[in-house]
Amino acid sequence: MWYLYKGVILTKNNLARWQWQGNSKCCFCSSYESIQHLFFDCLLAKFIWRIIQIFFNLSAPNSVHNIFIA
């Protein structure tokens, strides 16, 4: 959670900052991969958040900032 909060998770866009030469597209939907995309905007992430919402009656956050707001 600390890595998510600090924005240092090794997503493909963060790896590219360190001269990584791999493909920067999401493995699940072929969009540009970032923390925001991987955890909130990707269709797979939206599906998982929907399941959490249904089973636990929790609203889905739409950004990292919303997760850490009390």
What Cα–Cα distance (Å) separates residue 68 from each residue in 5, 52, 62?
Answer: 8, 17, 11
In the prediction, which pLDDT does 70 show?
Answer: 55
Q: Which pTM value belongs to this model? A: 0.81
CA 58 to chain centre: 18
Digits of tens for pLDDT over the chain (70 positions)? 899 889 889 999 999 999 999 999 999 999 999 999 999 999 999 999 999 999 999 888 899 888 888 5
Q: Which domain holds residue 58?
A: 2-67
Measured distance CA(37)–CA(62) in Å, rounded: 10
In the prediction, which pLDDT does 55 show?
Answer: 95
| Number of domains the chain contains | 1
Token representation of residue 20: 């990584």
